[in-house]
């Protein structure tokens, strides 16, 4: 059976070529493993390339009072203490080294006058902490990691979608997928797999995420028997473009606020004074997003249903130098000159704090040989992520997952691929072609996005979430009967038919966890349970597949060691 397919073999297979996947690949290679990286788009085009504002790391180049301890505290506070504390500790301790390493590999950061890496302010960070390259930090990060990986010898399989993980008994054995151009099937054999497939934003109507962010990795892991953690926590970034409609949701980087941008409502009031007078525009994203939403709902929104974000009080040359992408984004897409007039902005689905449940030290999932890192993994950010903490997450935990995956591969025998699993994967992919009736995947996707936007958005209620779960059952039934026309050649409708199955799984995981969490915490705001409850602060949610059913369990938040407890207590 396996002879029927083009087959590639590596010790470690990384699914995803964003920051997490590439950093994992570089590390696994350094450990002597043979490494394959597979990605849906071209190498260099992963969603990470869109990251703008910067990478958080307590380098202390601008604010000498900063420290890993302060970064740890900010991360835990931002995540409303639901974070995996060990991940938050490792992240804060190791991110400065990861930045220095990136610099040694050729990344050119903006500089201070005395030649150090410049750091800017960002919401929820006590000190100026974000290392950046104007507002194009992700591009520099990807360029550097990609150069390093290619130069060191990774095998790259690009424009290829993985649709199923293959197992040999309880262990990971490889993956099944198809080449997006030709539609040909392909097998990957590997002793270890790292999932680094990024986020889930494309399941919502208004999102900052790229087309690749359809939750594939989480769905693949779930289907293979891994667990998903705290899926209720989906971050709505406060500032996406609201106008014109074609670009609605496109991100307006937090760096605008970091550089001094001011938020006002239609009456010219600086409304953050009401919601967070201490931190104002540099409050955390959950708070700013809810504030804008509330201003709009109460009739004080901008003409296109958002708020005004103004940076025009800064010199035009400064704005163009520090925020070049924002300047061009507004000029080219909305005919707005942000050096002269305010932008119109509103919340956009941006990031998922939940994800595959992993071990803090190694990124290991609950399946032997399966690891995860980056946005696809859960734990570090708790109930809400601070800006800049994702890029540092990718570096710290990408490296750790690559290291552990290589070590696992060293001590593992070559796996066997199971024909029955391969056959099932092929059958599943071909099924939509075999139907003569049925809806096309575009209609179902569009309606799913609208439903999630209205029922599983910034503010939630039991009634809406229960309705959403009912709707999801109907969507699943429709998707099981959907039809794709044409052939496997260059067929985006067929690609979407598979992505849609992944989005339905993650959407159900989000709605199920959100309905169960009867409190408001971080990015999860329940109108019917508006308070943050101590008892809920001791519980994480775990989603798993049992038979054909999705199950939800509460697990206790891991006890923090005394020295870290003391650190957090110092501020009280
Ligand atoms: C506009 C924007 C700006 C941002 N700015 C910042 C910032 O300044 N600082 C910060 O910390 N964070 C920022 N973020 C968040 C951050 O960019 C992301 O969380 C992060 O880049 C995710 O990286 P990743 O490596 O986990 O995944 P991604 O970069 O999303 O990469 C996922 C990879 O997986 C591949 N893939 C997915 N599914 C499959 C499949 N089935 N088969 C094969 N391959 C697959 C994709 O092709 C891609 O290569 C920003 C986000 C956005 C949207």
Q: What are the distances in angstroms from CA 392 to CA 15, 93, 344?
A: 19, 11, 29
Please say if 69 is a catalytic residue: no
| Phi, psi at 555, each rounded to 5° | -125, 150
Determine the pLDDT at residue 315: 96
Task: Specify burial of residue 392 (Cβ count, 10 A radius: 0-12, 13-18, 19+).
Answer: buried
Helix, strand or coil for residue 380?
coil
Q: Which of 18, 78, 185, 222 to mutate to test ligand 1, by most ligand atoms within 8 A of the CB atom? A: 18
Q: Is the CB of 347 under 6 A from ligand 1?
A: no
Check: CB of residue 172 under 8 Å from CB of residue 370. yes
Q: Is the CB of 73 under 6 A from ligand 1?
A: no
| Residue 149 CA from chain centroid, whole number | 22
Helix, strand or coil for residue 458?
coil
CA-based angle 109:45:242, to the nearest 5?
Answer: 85
Tell me which residue of 78, 88, 69, 24 sits closest to 387, measured CA to CA: 78
Determine the pLDDT at residue 118: 97
Report cis status (omega within 30 of 0) of the bond before 244: yes
Please say if 237 is a catalytic residue: yes
Q: Which of 8, 98, 203, 212 to mutate to test ligand 1, by most ligand atoms within 8 A of the CB atom? A: 212
* Alpha carbon of 212 to ligand 1 centroid (Å): 8
Tell me the C-alpha distance between 463 and 100, whole Å: 49
Determine the pLDDT at residue 285: 85
Q: Is the CB of 506 under 6 A from ligand 1?
A: no
Q: DSSP alpha helices (H): ranges in 120-239?
A: 137-152, 216-224
Determine the pLDDT at residue 214: 98
Check: CB of residue 209 under 8 Å from CB of residue 269. no
Helix, strand or coil for residue 368?
strand
Among 71, 237, 290, 517, which one carries the catalytic annotation?
237
Determine the pLDDT at residue 572: 61
pLDDT means per 10 residues, the chain with 572 residues, are 85 98 98 98 95 95 97 97 98 98 97 96 94 94 97 97 97 98 97 98 95 97 98 95 92 92 97 95 90 94 94 96 93 95 94 98 98 98 96 98 98 96 97 95 97 94 98 98 96 97 98 98 96 97 97 97 94 66
Residue 507: enclosing H or E segment and its boundaries?
helix 492-516
Q: For residue 389, which atom of ligand 1 is closest to its CA? A: 11
Determine the pLDDT at residue 339: 97
Q: How many helices and strands, by DSSP H and E, does the chain display?
A: 16, 20
Exposure b/e, 35-58, CB count within 10 A at least 16 = b: bbbbbbbebbbbbbbbbbbbbbbb
Helix, strand or coil for residue 503?
helix
Q: Is the CB of 50 under 6 A from ligand 1?
A: yes
Residue identifier of the C-alpha nearest atom 5 of ligand 1:
51
Sheet holding 55-56, edge to edge: 55-56, 130-131, 119-120
Residue identifier of the C-alpha nearest atom 13 of ligand 1:
51
* Alpha carbon of 17 to ligand 1 centroid (Å): 9
Tell me which residue of 309, 340, 308, 338 sits closest to 323, measured CA to CA: 338
Residue 88: enclosing H or E segment and its boundaries?
helix 85-104
Q: What are the distances in angstroms from CA 393 to CA 149, 386, 388?
A: 19, 11, 9
Check: CB of residue 10 under 8 Å from CB of residue 35. yes
Determine the pLDDT at residue 1: 56
Tell me the C-alpha distance between 351 and 386, whole Å: 11
Check: CB of residue 17 under 8 Å from CB of residue 156. yes
Helix, strand or coil for residue 47?
helix
Task: At 511, list the tokens.
Answer: 């709605």
Residues 6+ apart with CB under 8 A from 560: 85, 568
Q: For residue 48, which atom of ligand 1 is closest to its CA? A: 21
């Amino acid at each position: 059976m396996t002879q029927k397919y083009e087959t590639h073999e590596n010790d470690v297979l990384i699914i995803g070529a964003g920051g997490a996947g590439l950093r994992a690949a570089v590390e696994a290679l350094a450990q002597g493993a043979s490494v394959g990286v597979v990605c849906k788009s071209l190498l260099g085009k992963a969603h990470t390339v869109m990251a703008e504002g910067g990478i958080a790391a307590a380098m202390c180049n601008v604010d000498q009072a900063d420290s890993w301890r302060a970064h740890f505290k900010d991360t835990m506070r931002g995540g409303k203490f639901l974070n995996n504390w060990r991940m938050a500790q490792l992240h804060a301790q190791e991110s400065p080294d990861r930045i220095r390493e990136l610099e040694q590999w050729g990344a050119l950061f903006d500089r201070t006058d005395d030649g150090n890496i410049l750091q800017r302010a960002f919401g929820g960070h006590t000190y100026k902490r974000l290392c950046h390259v104007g507002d194009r930090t992700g591009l520099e990060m990807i360029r550097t990691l990609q150069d390093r990986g290619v130069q060191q010898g990774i095998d790259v399989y690009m424009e290829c979608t993985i649709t199923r993980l293959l197992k040999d008994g309880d262990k990971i054995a490889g993956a099944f997928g198809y080449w997006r151009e030709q539609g040909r099937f392909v097998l990957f054999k590997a002793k270890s797999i790292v999932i680094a497939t990024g986020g889930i934003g494309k399941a919502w109507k208004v999102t900052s995420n790229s087309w690749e962010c359809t939750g594939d990795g989480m769905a693949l892991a779930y289907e293979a028997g891994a667990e998903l953690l705290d899926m209720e926590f989906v971050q709505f970034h406060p500032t996406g473009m609201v106008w014109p409609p074609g670009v609605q949701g496109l991100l307006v980087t937090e760096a605008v606020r970091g550089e001094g941008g001011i938020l006002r409502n239609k009456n010219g009031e600086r409304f953050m004074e009401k919601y967070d007078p201490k931190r104002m525009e540099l409050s955390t994203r959950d708070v700013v997003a809810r504030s804008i939403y509330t201003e709009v709902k109460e009739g004080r929104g901008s003409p296109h249903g958002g708020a005004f974000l103004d940076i025009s009080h800064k010199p035009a040359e400064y704005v163009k130098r520090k925020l070049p992408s924002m300047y061009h984004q507004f000029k080219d897409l909305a005919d707005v000159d942000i050096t002269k007039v305010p932008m119109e902005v509103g919340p956009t689905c941006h990031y998922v704090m939940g994800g595959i449940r992993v071990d803090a030290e190694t990124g290991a999932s609950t399946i032997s040989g399966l690891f995860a890192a980056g946005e696809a993994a859960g734990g570090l950010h708790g109930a809400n992520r601070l800006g800049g903490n994702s890029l540092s997450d990718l570096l710290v935990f990408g490296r750790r997952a690559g290291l552990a995956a290589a070590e696992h591969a060293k001590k593992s025998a070559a796996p066997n691929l199971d024909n029955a699993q391969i056959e099932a994967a092929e059958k599943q992919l071909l099924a939509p072609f075999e139907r003569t009736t049925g809806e096309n995947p575009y209609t179902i996707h569009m309606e799913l996005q609208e439903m999630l936007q209205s029922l599983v958005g910034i503010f939630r209620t039991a009634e809406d979430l229960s309705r959403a779960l009912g709707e999801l059952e109907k969507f699943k039934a429709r998707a099981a009967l959907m039809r794709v026309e044409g052939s496997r050649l260059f067929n985006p409708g067929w690609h979407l038919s598979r992505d849609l199955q992944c989005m339905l799984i993650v959407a159900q995981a989000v709605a199920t966890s959100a309905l169960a969490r009867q409190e408001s915490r971080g990015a999860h705001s329940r109108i019917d349970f508006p308070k943050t409850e101590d008892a809920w602060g001791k519980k994480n949610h775990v989603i798993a597949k049992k038979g054909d059913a999705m199950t939800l369990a509460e697990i206790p938040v891991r006890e923090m060691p005394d020295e870290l407890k003391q650190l957090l207590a110092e501020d009280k």
